[in-house]
Structure 1
Amino acid sequence: MTPQRLAVANRLTQKRGPDATEVVEKEGWTLAHNLLSITGSFTRQPFVDERADCYCLFNGEIYNWRDLAPAAGSDGEALIPLYLEHGAAFTTKLDGEFALALFDFKKNVLVLSTDAFATKPLWYAKRGSEFGLASYESALLALGFEKPTKLAANTTLVLSLADEKELSRHQVFTFDPAHQHKESVDDFLSAFSHSIAKRAKNIREKVFMGLSSGYDSGAITCELLRQKLPFKAYSILGREDQGIVRARHAFLPKVAGEILNPSYREYQRQKRLLREVCEPFFWTVREGRYAPQNILEDAATVGLGIICEKAKGAGFKIYLSGQGADEILSDYRMHGKGLTGSSSIEGEFPEDLAAIFPWRNFYEGAQKYYIAKEEHVAGAYGLETRYPYLDAALVQEFLWLTAATKNAGYKYPLQTLFEREHFPYARDVKVGFIPRKKTMGDYIARLVSGLLGTHI
Structure 2
Amino acid sequence: MCGVTGYMNLGGAAVEDDGVLDRMTATLLHRGPDSGGRFVRDGVALGFRRLAIVGLEGGDQPILNEDGSIAMVCNGEIFNHRELRAELESKGHRFTTSTDVEVLVHLYEEHGTGLLERLNGQFAFAIHDSRRRRLFLARDQMGILPLYYAQPAGQIVFGSEIKAVIEHPAVVRRPDLTGLDQVLTFPGTVGARTLFQGVSSLENGHYLLVEDGEVRTVKYWDLDYPLDGEEEGGHPDAYYTDTLRALLEQSVRRRLQADVPVGYYLSGGLDSSLIGALVHRVGTGTRPRSFSISFADRGIDESRFQQLMARHLGSDHHETAFRPVDIAGDLRRMVWHAECPVKETYNTCSMALSASVRESGTRVVLTGEGADELFAGYLGYRFDLGGRRAAGDPFEDDLRRLMWGDPHLFYERDYHAWRESKLDLYAPDVRDSFADIDCLAEPVVDPRMLRGRNPVHQRSYLDFKLRLTDHLLSDHGDRMALAHSVEARYPFLDPDLVRFATTVPPRLKVTERTEKYALKEVARGLVPDEIIHREKFGFRAQGSPALLREGIDWVEDLLSYDVVKRQGYFDPDVVEHLKKQYRQPGYEVHPHLGDDLLLTVLTFGVLLDTFSLPDNA
- Asked if Structure 1 and Structure 2 have the same fold, meaning a TM-score greater than 0.5 normalized by the shorter chain, the answer is yes
1:89 is matched with: 114
* Alpha-carbon spacing, 1:336–1:110, altered in 2? closer, same or farther (3 Å): same
Look up the equivalent residue of 2:291 and give its one-letter code: Y
Q: How many residues align?
A: 429
Could you give the per-residue CA deviations for residues 340-362 of structure 1, whole angstroms, max 9, x where no partner exists?
A: 948999xxxx9747984972222
2:533 is matched with which residue: 418, 427, 440? 427
- Return the offset for 1:257: 0.8
Matched, 1:147 2:198: yes
Relative to structure 2, which stretch is displaced further, 118-127 or 410-419? 410-419
Provide structure 2 residue ranges, at least 5 long, that are not aligned to the other structure: 1-15, 90-94, 172-196, 385-409, 415-444, 558-617
Answering whether residue 308 of structure 2 is matched by residue 251 of structure 1, we say no
Equivalent positions of 1:310-389 (< 5 A) are: 310-330=356-376, 332-333=378-379, 336-337=382-383, 341=412, 352=454, 356=458, 359-372=461-474, 373-389=476-492
Give the alignment's TM-score, normalised by structure 2.
Answer: 0.63
Q: Report the Cα distance in structure 2 between the residues aligned to 1:207 and 1:137, rounded to whole angstroms.
A: 28
The 5 Å alignment of 1:56-71 reads 56-70=72-86, 71=89
Contact 1:327–1:367 under 8 Å retained in 2: no
Residues of 2 paired with 1:340 and 1:304: CA distance?
27
Q: After TM superposition, give the deviation of residue 95 of structure 1 in Å.
A: 0.7
Cα separation, partners in 2 of 1:29 and 1:322, compared to 1, 3 Å: same
Find the aligned partners of 2:380 and 2:333 in 1 and give their Cα distance.
Answer: 36
Query: Which one has a bigger Cα radius of gyration?
Result: 2
In structure 2, what is the equivalent of residue 213 of structure 1?
Answer: 268
Contact 2:25 2:48 in 1 (8 A): no
Cα 1:355/1:120, change in 2 over 3 Å: closer
Q: Which amino acid aligns with 1:20?
A: S
1:248 is paired with a residue whose SS is: helix
CA distance in 2, matches of 1:400, 1:207: 31
Root mean square deviation, CA, Å: 3.4
* Residues 264 and 176 (structure 1), Cα distance of their counterparts in 2 relative to 1, 3 Å cut: closer
2:225 is the alignment partner of 1:225 = no
**How far did residue 231 of structure 1 move?**
2.5
Q: Distance in 1 between matches of 2:69 and 2:252?
A: 37
Q: Deviations over 1:266-288 (max 9, x none)?
A: 44333344345x1423xxxxxxx
Cα deviation for residue 436 of structure 1 reads 5.6
Contact 2:265 2:272 in 1 (8 A): yes
1:234 to 2:291 alignment: yes
Aligned-pair identity (%): 21
Contact 1:299 1:435 in 2 (8 A): yes
Encode CA deviations 1:24-56: one digit per residue, 9 max, x unaligned.
211222111111111124311111125261111
- Over 3 Å counting, the alpha-carbon distance change for 1:172 and 1:231 in structure 2 is farther
Counterpart position of 1:398: 501
TM-score (norm 1): 0.83
What is the aligned partner in structure 1 of residue 100 from structure 2?
Answer: 75
Deviation at 1:199, TM superposition (A): 0.4
Aligned counterparts, 1:4-153, within 5 A: 4-42=19-57, 43-49=59-65, 51=67, 53-70=69-86, 71=89, 72=95, 73-143=98-168, 144-145=170-171, 146-153=197-204
Q: Cα gap change, 1:164/1:379 in structure 2, threshold over 3 Å: closer, same or farther?
A: farther
Contact kept? 2:271, 2:371, Cα under 8 Å: yes
* Pair 1:268–1:25, CA change in 2 (3 A): same
Is contact 1:237-1:260 (8 Å) kept?
yes
Q: Hey, what does 2:11 align to over in structure 1?
A: none
Q: Structure 1 267/116 Cα, relative in aligned 2: closer, same or farther at 3 Å?
A: same
1:414 paired to 2:519: yes
CA gap 1:24/1:398 in 2 versus in 1, 3 angstroms: same
Quickly say closer, same or farther: Cα 1:361–1:48, change in 2 above 3 A.
Answer: same
Which structure has greater strand proportion? 1
2:242 pairs, out of 157, 175, 186, with 186
Q: Distance in 2 between matches of 1:354 and 1:326?
A: 12
Q: Deviations over 1:166-225 (max 9, x none)?
A: 3x735157856355224331111111111111001x531112232112222121112223
